[in-house]
Structures are given as structure tokens and as C-alpha cells.
Amino acid sequence: MTQTLLPAALLERYGKLPLPRYTSYPPANLWGDRDESLLRRALSEIEGRPLSLYVHVPFCRKLCLYCGCNMLVTRSQDLVTRYLNALDAEVAHVAALLPHRPEVVQVHLGGGTPTYLDEAQLSRLWQSLASRFDIPRGIEASIEIHPPVTSGAQLARLAELGFSRVSMGVQDFDELVQKRISRIQPFAQTRDLVVLSRQLGFVSVNIDLMYGLPLQTVERFAVTLDRVAELRPDRVALFGYAHMPTLRKHQSVFRSEELPSVEVRAALFELAMTRLLGLGYVYVGLDHFALPDDELLLARRQGELRRNFMGYTTCKSSAVLAFGPSSISELGSHYVQNEREVAAYCDRIESGTLPVVRGCSLGRDDLIRREVIMQLLCNLVLSKHEVSIRHGLDFDTYFASELTLLAPLIADGLCAWEDDILRILPPGQLLLRTVAAVFDATLHRPAPRHHAAAV
Ligand SMILES: C[S@@+](CC[C@H](N)C(=O)[O-])C[C@H]1O[C@@H](n2cnc3c(N)ncnc32)[C@H](O)[C@@H]1O
Ligand code: SF4
């Protein structure tokens, strides 16, 4: 698949609209207050569907000033022990509610910083899952690694436990930028962990980069990209810095004049994109790049790529069961989110209740739109015929107003109809959310209350 950069006129017209990231549909800021009865209902309905398990480890040693994640900086081992106990109780409680012992096809540990936990704590966490679920060896088991707080011994333990993929946060190797964002991470340290991960047999190493951070310049980011080229990770995630100082107070230390202008931000993205494509990476979509033989791209060619809260995946499972503070389960037609604060999460579990606080149950229209949006974001094609058959509707009638909204995007070359297939064209691959948003019926729906979206 060829990939071109976005013409400036299209970037100007479409690139500045604030759109959801579509890790869910409807987006999480529109969900309402819910309690554990929603999770009980959702669990009773998942039938024999295979499961993806997610565990949120919220702890970090030190605050990175740009951070938009759900995390807690603490040195309290008492709190970590309390969390591990609560997590174990949560997994036991939820597993006991399942009508059967389901097959697990994917496990992901995210954060915060999962490698905040030492080897014994990582084993304990894994045991909490493995003693309640059948987790076959060789499944897609991945973990987010923060290199400055990850040792060789931890990586070795993770490999022993069955983890096969690591995702390393880097953001930028430039020392000036690292100082400003309060995240000192020498290149050699990350390089050694990449090398060790490969020696230990991890099948995939991902690196997260960010553009739009304070003090970033095109010249210095080019050096970071040279270093990334040296590491040749299997996948690269290239995130635009989300500056939300009202929701993440610590970000307000960045003065607006320190942040790259819209033009520099676009130039940083363009530089990274050009460089990665030049190195042989393929743009998967929504910030993600992979080498051409990556299974994500194979799945895309077969129309089987999926996306869930953990990102793009080849796993066919449509059920994500999530544990830990702020985690989100996606179970059939329900989304269920846990309490965000660690102490409040533990309180809830210690009092014998499940820590559900928010969620959403999808109606027929939501389910149809979710499928359409996810098809476009993942597989870059949409078959009118398939949607019509699967949902018993006439696509042209059901989506008459959306087809009108789509017309200018087609005229601008973002997508095109080939018979009854809507295909995203290369410029549209960089504006995937713009095309998908045409089918989003919630865009102008007010949020029930202010909600801090997680990165
Ligand atoms: C949940 S963090 C976990 C990784 C790990 N804690 C670390 O920092 O290495 C995952 C990624 O989210 C991205 N991220 C964090 N804050 C962000 C923000 N404000 N805007 C965009 N991306 C952000 C970073 O690229 C980070 O590596
Ligand atoms: S970027 Fe990662 S390590 Fe830094 S504060 Fe956020 S979650 Fe923690």
C-alpha cells in the first residue's frame, strides 16, 4: 500500500478538528454513572467468546510533566501491596461470575508503569490471572515498559511468565527535551533493553515517540529518529502530545511559547512519518507504524484487523475484561469502567463490591455505527453490502445523511467508492478519524459531565 503525506490544504481543512480517538464508540466521555450490576449483566451475556485481559498498574516512580495517563506517583510499598491484594480479589470475584472458564487470547499490562512492580510482584500479579483463567503459552502477552525503571531481571521474569511483546516509552532521545519534560532516559539504556528483549525471545518490540513536546525542533527530532532507526523496533507509535492543563494540572508548567507552534508540530509529524516510511515502516493508522511483515498488516490485508482499548490487534476476541483502577472492560454491547483513584478502588473491593463507576450499554444504532467506524479505522474499507446483510438494513437509506456528509471528503480524495465498497485512500489514512467521524452520531451530544479522557 502506498502512503503519501497529507497535502497542506487538506491538513488545514480537516487536521484541526477535535475528534474522538475512537478507542470506543460511543466515546468514553459520553458514558454515564453505573454500578456493578452493569458488569454482572455484561458477564452473563458474553457466552463462549474468547477473552482479552487487561490489567492497569497505575504506579510511577516519578512524574513526566507531559503525562496524560491514569497514574499515581508514589513510593508507598504499603499502597502497592494493598493494590495487589485488591487486584487479586477483583480477579477472583469477576472470574467467579463468569458462566464458564473462557479461553484467553490476549493479555496486556498497561499503566502507569507496570515495571514499577519488582519480579516477585509481577509474578504475583500474573498468578492472580493464571490461577483463574486458562492462559495458553504463546498467546499475545504484552507489557508497557518504562526503560529507566526496568531491569534485566524484570525482563527475564516477564519472559519466563510468558510475555512475548514489550512496548517501551521513549518520547524523544534529545537531552534538552528530556530535561524539560522531566524524563531522563539515556539512549544506551533503552538500546540495552531492546537488545536484551530480543535475546530473551520477545517477538515484538514497540517504541512510543511523541511530537509536539516543549523544546522539540525538527533538527533535534531528526537525531532522535536516527537513533530509533538504529534500534529498528518492530512497531513505532507516534503520538501527538495532548496538552490538557485543565484536566492534567501538572502540564500547566509548560508555557505556551515553549510548545511547538501548529506549523512546527505538523513539520515534526511530517519528518517522523517521512523518515519511518523511508526506513520501510508501513503506516497502520492512528499513530501506529509497523514493519511490512508485521501480523497487523497481514490481518489488515485479510480484513481482520481489530482495535480495542489496548490498540490495534489481530485477536478476534471482541471481549476485553479489564482489572485495576480506571480500567475499561468491553464486553459485547457494554463498556464498564472502574473507579480511577487507587485508594478508592481498594476501598470498594475491600468492602466486597466491584469497583464499577461508569459505563455504557449500546443500542442497535450504536452497535451498527461502532462496527462501521471500527471497520474504517482498522481495515480501511467498508462494505455496504455486508453492513446491510448483517444488520438487516438498507445502507443507502439508513445512512442517507452520512452519505451527503461523505461527498466533500470523496471530492477531496480522502476516500472513494468502488462499487459498494468505501475505500480509504492514502491521504485519508492520515485523516482516518475525519472519515470515521462521518458515521458518529454522538459528535454533538453533550457529555453528561466533565470527564478526563485517558491517553
Ligand atoms: C501509559 S504510557 C505508559 C508507558 C510508560 N509509563 C512509560 O512512560 O514509558 C503510554 C504512552 O502514552 C503516551 N502519552 C503519555 N502522555 C501523553 C500525552 N499527554 N499526549 C500524548 N501521548 C501521551 C506516551 O507515548 C507513553 O509512552
Ligand atoms: S509517561 Fe509513563 S512513566 Fe511518565 S508519568 Fe506517565 S505513565 Fe508514568
Q: Cell 437509506 identifies what position? A: 397
Q: What is the mean pLDDT of the chain?
A: 92
Q: Cell 503525562 identifies what position? A: 67
Location of each CATH 1.10.10.920 domain in the chain: 364-443
Q: Cell 519511518 identifies what position? A: 276
Q: Whose CA is nearest to atom 2 of ligand 2?
A: 112
Q: Cell 477531496 identifies what position? A: 412
Q: Cell 484541526 identifies what position? A: 16
| CATH class of the structural domain 364-443 | mainly alpha
Q: Any idea which ligand is nearest the CA of 183?
A: 2
Q: Which of 106-110, 115-119, 218-222, 449-453 has the lowest mean pLDDT?
A: 449-453
Q: Whose CA is nearest to atom 1 of ligand 2?
A: 67
Give the pLDDT score at 388. 97
Pairing of strands 415-418, 421-424: antiparallel
Pocket test for ligand 1, best of 56, 144, 150, 205 (most atoms within 8 A of CB): 144
Q: Any idea which ligand is nearest the CA of 248?
A: 1
Pocket test for ligand 1, best of 74, 246, 455 (most atoms within 8 A of CB): 455
CA distances from 337 to 195, 324, 328, 366 (A): 37, 10, 4, 18
Distance CA 423, CA 303 (A): 12
CB 98 within 8 A of CB 134: no
pLDDT greater than 90 at residue 453: no
Percentage of the residues of the chain whose pLDDT score is greater than 70: 96
Distance CA 136, CA 322 (A): 18
pLDDT greater than 80 at residue 77: yes
Location of each CATH 3.80.30.20 domain in the chain: 30-320
Percentage of the residues of the chain whose pLDDT score is greater than 90: 78
66 CA closest ligand 2 atom index: 1
* Better-scored residue on pLDDT, 2 or 115: 115
| CATH number attached to the domain at 30-320 | 3.80.30.20
pTM: 0.93
Condensed to tens digits (0 to 9), the pLDDT of residues 295-345 reads 999 988 888 888 888 888 887 766 999 999 999 999 999 999 999 999 999
pLDDT greater than 50 at residue 2: no
